[in-house]
Amino acid sequence: MAVVLDILKNDPRGPRHPEKAHRPDQAVQLKKPDWIRVKAPGSRAWTETQKIVREHGLHTVCEEAGCPNIGECWEKRHATFMIMGDTCTRACAFCNVRTGLPDALDAGEPEKIADSVAKLGLHHVVITSVDRDDLRDGGAEHFARTIRAIRRASPGTTIEILTPDFLRKDGALEVVVAAKPDVFNHNLETVPGRYLTVRPGARYFHSVRLLQRVKELDPTIFTKSGIMVGLGEERNEVVQLMDDLRSADVDFLTIGQYLQPSKKHHAVMRFVPPDEFKTYETTGYAKGFLLVSATPLTRSSHHAGEDFARLQAARLAKLPPALSA
Ligand code: SF4
């Protein structure tokens, strides 16, 4: 982790979160428990992954969000690419991605991503982006172009996207769905009662509806969503959120512990113990999700390749015998 944070600290463009810079530090500063243990980055394979990312001038959410799993994932050459720049037009209270006014889109980025995916030899790739509320379509066409470029360069690679909400961008979602990603992920991030504090620029029911609409447009696409816990939510609110996602026919739910990127970000209100994650997993399966990943270090894209295979197997297992043969 130290390597990642050092890279971000030395950014010559000034504070990553100007809107938070003058706020007082959070009063609550909980000590990390023993069960939050991560693999340190820096192995040979990790360095090779970093080299490919740097050579192509790409951004990854692994670095920008300060993800605790980067040591483990990059060692397996699994990086989650973040398209449309490194600057987000929103300013969520939990997120470490730089905020401000983004640069113009790089029209060559879809091909650079496709080339990197081919060089890394990825069987499954996750593509995410910053929010681009400044763009007419929220970046939908750029997402679609990226999916198509990866398909051309690596036809055997399955593609998972983790998108913004395209709020107030009519027709944007349809453009992305038409490009046929294998998995469409859009994170709810937290329960509705915490939105104004945690995710003030978004609307909970718009996000649920977006996921439902993906399934209506193309039922073959797997849908996925995730939340963080430890942000002050109650258990019954998480259970209600599961029901909301199942009403939208969402297949896969991820739940992980929120970790505070800096003293200016939303405080960790609680470290949820592993056995409580286990009960969330059990409840999620009982509610009908094809797959539930709920552990302290679960992140949207963690083990995404293995999880995709499990999703396919779970869908097949639910089909009547004549159709699954
Ligand atoms: S969990 Fe996702 S964001 Fe974190 S390091 Fe792994 S691929 Fe990157």
pLDDT for 208-224, tens place per residue?
999 999 999 999 999 99
Rounded Cα–Cα distance for residues 39 and 131 (Å): 29
- Whether 185 is in the pocket of ligand 1, judged by its Cβ within 6 Å, is no
Q: Which atom of ligand 1 lies closest to the CA of 67? A: 4
Question: How many residues make up the chain in this entry?
Answer: 325
Residue minimizing CA distance to atom 1 of ligand 1: 302
pLDDT band at 120 (very low <50, low <70, confident <90, very high): very high
Q: Is the CB of 70 under 6 A from ligand 1?
A: yes
- Ligand 1 binding pocket includes 49 (Cβ within 6 Å): no
Label residue 58 by pLDDT band (50, 70, 90). very high
Biggest alpha carbon–alpha carbon distance for the chain: 63
| Residue 268: both structure tokens together | 């960790």
Work out the pLDDT band at 5, boundaries 50, 70, 90: very low
**Ligand 1 pocket, residue 59 CB under 6 Å:** no
Segment 41-47 shows an average pLDDT of 91
* Predicted confidence (pLDDT) at residue 4 exceeds the cutoff of 70: no
* 3-class secondary structure, 189: strand
pLDDT for res 23:
87
Beta pairing class for 158-162 and 98-99: unpaired
Tell how far the Cα of 34 is from the centroid of ligand 1, in angstroms. 21
User: CB of 293 closer than 6 A to ligand 1?
Assistant: no
| Percent of the chain predicted with pLDDT > 90 | 87
Distance 22 CA to ligand 1 centre (A): 30
By three-state DSSP, how is residue 300 classified?
Answer: coil
Residue 80 CB less than 6 A away from ligand 1: yes
> In this predicted structure, what is the pLDDT of residue 29?
86
Is residue 259 within 8 A of residue 280, CB to CB? The reply is: no
- Does the structure show a pLDDT above 60 at 9? no
Q: Is 303 in the pocket of ligand 1 (CB under 6 A)?
A: no
Centre of ligand 1 from the C-alpha of residue 38, in Å: 12
Q: What's the average model confidence in pLDDT over 4-15?
A: 60
Looking up tokens 């706020």 gives 23
Q: Are 40 and 74 in contact (CB under 8 A)?
A: no
Residue-level pLDDT at 10: 58
Residue 12 confidence (pLDDT) above 90: no
Supply the DSSP symbol for 30. Answer: P
Task: Say if CB 166 and CB 202 are below 8 A apart.
Answer: no
Report pLDDT digits (tens) over 149-160.
999 999 999 999
Angle between helices 274-286 and 235-247 (to 10 degrees): 30
For ligand 1, say whether the CB of 67 is within 6 Å of any of its atoms. yes
**Mean pLDDT calculated for residue range 221-230:** 98
Q: What is the pTM of this model?
A: 0.94
Per-residue pLDDT for 2 more than 80?
no
Q: Is 69 in the pocket of ligand 1 (CB under 6 A)?
A: yes
Note the pLDDT of residue 325: 59
CA separation for the pair 266, 228 (Å, rounded): 12
Residue 11 confidence (pLDDT): 67
Residue 60's SS3 state is strand
* Burial class of residue 216, CB neighbours in 10 A (0-12, 13-18, 19+): exposed
Nearest CA to ligand 1 atom 5: 70
Strand partners, 253: 225, 292
The pLDDT tens digits of the residues spanning 92-101 come to 999 999 999 9
Distance of CA 317 to the CA centre of its chain: 27
- Cβ 267 vs Cβ 27: under 8 Å: yes
- Residue 234 confidence (pLDDT) above 70: yes
Mutational pocket test of ligand 1: of 49, 50, 73, 96, the residue with most ligand atoms within 8 Å of the beta carbon: 73
Instruction: Identify the CA nearest to 66 among candidates 140, 152, 153, 7.
Output: 7
Mean pLDDT of 126-137: 97
Distance CA 205, CA 183 (A): 20
What mean pLDDT do residues 48-66 have? 95
How far is the centre of ligand 1, averaged over its atoms, from the C-alpha of 170 (Å)? Answer: 30
pLDDT at 64: 93
Angle value at C-alpha 64, between 86 and 47, nearest 5 degrees: 115
Give the bridge partners for 287, in sequence order: none
The residue assigned the tokens 């504090």 is 197
- Average pLDDT of span 54-71: 94
Mean pLDDT rounded to a whole number for the chain: 93
- Name the residue with the closest Cα to ligand 1, atom 3: 62
Query: Cα separations (Å) of 4 from 70, 169, 261?
Result: 9, 34, 12
